Amino acid sequence: MTIEEIHRRVLDSSAVLDVVQAEIGKVIVGQDEIIRKLIIGILANGHVLIEGVPGLAKTLIISTLSQAMKATYKRIQFTPDLLPADITGTLIYNQKSGEFSPKQGPIFANFILADEINRAPSKVQSALLEAMQERQVTISDTTYPLPQPFFVMATQNPIEQEGTYPLPEAQVDRFLLKLKIKYPSFDEERKIMDRMVDEKPIAISQVLTPADIENMRKVMHEIHMEDKLKDYILHLVFATRHPERYPRLAALNGLIDCGASPRASIYMARAAKAHAFLEHRGYVTPDDIKAIGKDVLRHRIMLSYEAEAEQIDAENIINRIFDEIEVP
């Protein structure tokens, strides 16, 4: 299949995503970039971690997105007393039949909001881990597949750290993107006030179905990516592991304890294709990689004590890498 044919298929398949974003825009104001990144996460068959203070419409965004895509949606509020069975489900004893029957938990939905994920203990976080990675849940001795598409949007509050459990690196690495949600501008917040103060219901049209999303993913995988762009992705990832191999990044040596995993390379390529799909293109450009690359790497770099002492964060290092690695 030629690039022109792929481009036409992508154009036909992705056009409806403009309508999806318009429908969500009826409710959500000022978070267009977050919405685009969430759609990219869904198309790339990944999960998204969002960090932001309360009250920035994180719950409203994912619930509105599920309405526009005619998908099932469940919200799970993570608390210190939560149990794994509260998420996955458990066996219920039936007194009439004398048998145990499975009762599926809230994880059995297309879109999951894992609210304040770092407030749950490690047992609960590990229960979510299998669901996120394997797209399946084990209750007793039986394994049940999760509905497709399956998308987890987890949230973290960057301010309150009392009573929280830091997410282990193994779980953080399973998120395709880590996004930082910001306050709206003055004009955007005025629009929010105008829409929300009266609490008038806003009708959202169901534009897509889960089957449509699966078909979009098949078309997205056909998007062309040049070998030099694949090498560009690898150089970005390898620069987080071995900055000393790149003369202009030698100063970063000793600031990174652990660089990005191979999952970062895979996810960056997938997300770049999803971004090209969202832009209605049948081929990937360096701008696609730049648009999502920082969100892919942000949570995959472990800094050294030296970096923390010098008040250098992951954002500084990632920006430096993108500035210095040559663009093909």
Same domain as 182, residue 36: yes
pLDDT digits (tens, 9 = 90+) for 84-125: 888 988 888 877 777 788 888 899 999 999 988 888 888 888
**Pair 134, 229 in one domain:** no
Look at phi and psi of residue 76 and say left if phi exceeds 0, alpha if psi is from -120 to 50, else beta.
beta
Does pLDDT of 196 surpass 80?
Answer: no
Query: What pLDDT score was predicted for residue 157?
Result: 79
Mean of pLDDT values over 173-181: 91
In this structure, the answer to whether residues 105 and 143 fall within a common structural domain is yes
Residue 144 falls inside a structural domain: yes
Closest CA to 299 of 232, 240, 239: 240
pLDDT score for 165: 66
Domain that includes residue 273, residue range: 223-324
Average pLDDT, the chain: 88
How many structural domains comprise the chain?
A: 2
Q: Which of 244, 236, 241 is nearest to 269 (CA)?
A: 236
Helices 32-43 & 286-297, crossing angle to 10 degrees?
Answer: 90
Same domain, 233 and 162: no
* The last residue of a domain, from among 145, 177, 207: 207
Q: What is the CATH number of the domain that holds 180?
A: 3.40.50.300
Look up the CATH number of the domain holding residue 282.
1.10.8.80
